[in-house]
Amino acid sequence: MQKARLSKPERRDQLLDAAADLVLERGIAALSMEGVAARAGVSKALPYAHFENAEEVLAALYEREVAVLGARMYALVEGAPDLQGKIEGAVRAYFDVVTTRATLFTKLLSVDAHKSAQKDNRAHRYFTSIFVSTLDVDAPTGSVLASAFLASLPGALGALVRRDARREVVEDVLVRFAVAGAHAVAESSAVTAVRPAGAQAGG
């Protein structure tokens, strides 16, 4: 009985699965289009119908991993009633996904595969809106807070990978750091906004 032909999205996923296996087994440097084809059990030419080169495969693999993370993160954040809960949900989702796929994530991040991926600002826009709505700060301030928070996630992951602290400790410190820092910025912004023009701080 002949196997059913895979659709284009299914074939693309099959090739990315093969690439992920190769990255995990042999490392980034060993990834090649021919290797992906061999692992997927397809012709050498077929991967080129979906990707231009191995760098594009890595970028697509990174994007897929981030999409899994984003879906989990948004699901937990949306149900939280306040900033504390939203940050806790985002941090928990990040570590839930990254720890179960840690080796692949770490390898992709180590070679900056994400720099080859198409720029996607959805997460940044999403968290900017959260900081703006929960703290009543302006959009530029919310944007900086979102950038700082998102950048802190892989930074905290480093502490976990190095085994500097247990996961619950890393999460707790990261949440407290993000929430306290955001509130401090919001309070400072509010004071600046109401201070009369030309007034000196502490005067």
Nearest CA-CA partner of 108 in 63, 48, 171: 63
pTM value is: 0.71
* Res 3: pLDDT: 56
Distance CA 112, CA 134 (A): 32
Q: Which residues of the chain have pLDDT under 50?
A: 1-2, 117-118, 201-203
Find where tokens 């180590």 sit: 110
* Res 120: pLDDT: 58
* Res 63: pLDDT: 85
Secondary structure of residue 183 in the 3-state scheme? helix
Q: Cα angle vertex 136, ends 130, 142, to 5°?
A: 50
Direct distance between the N- and C-terminal alpha carbons of the chain, in angstroms, rounded to an integer: 86
Class of domain 7-51: mainly alpha
Domain ranges of the chain: 7-51, 62-194
For residue 34, the tally of other CB atoms under 10 A from its CB is 10
* Res 131: pLDDT: 97
Distance CA 116, CA 108 (A): 11
* Res 203: pLDDT: 45
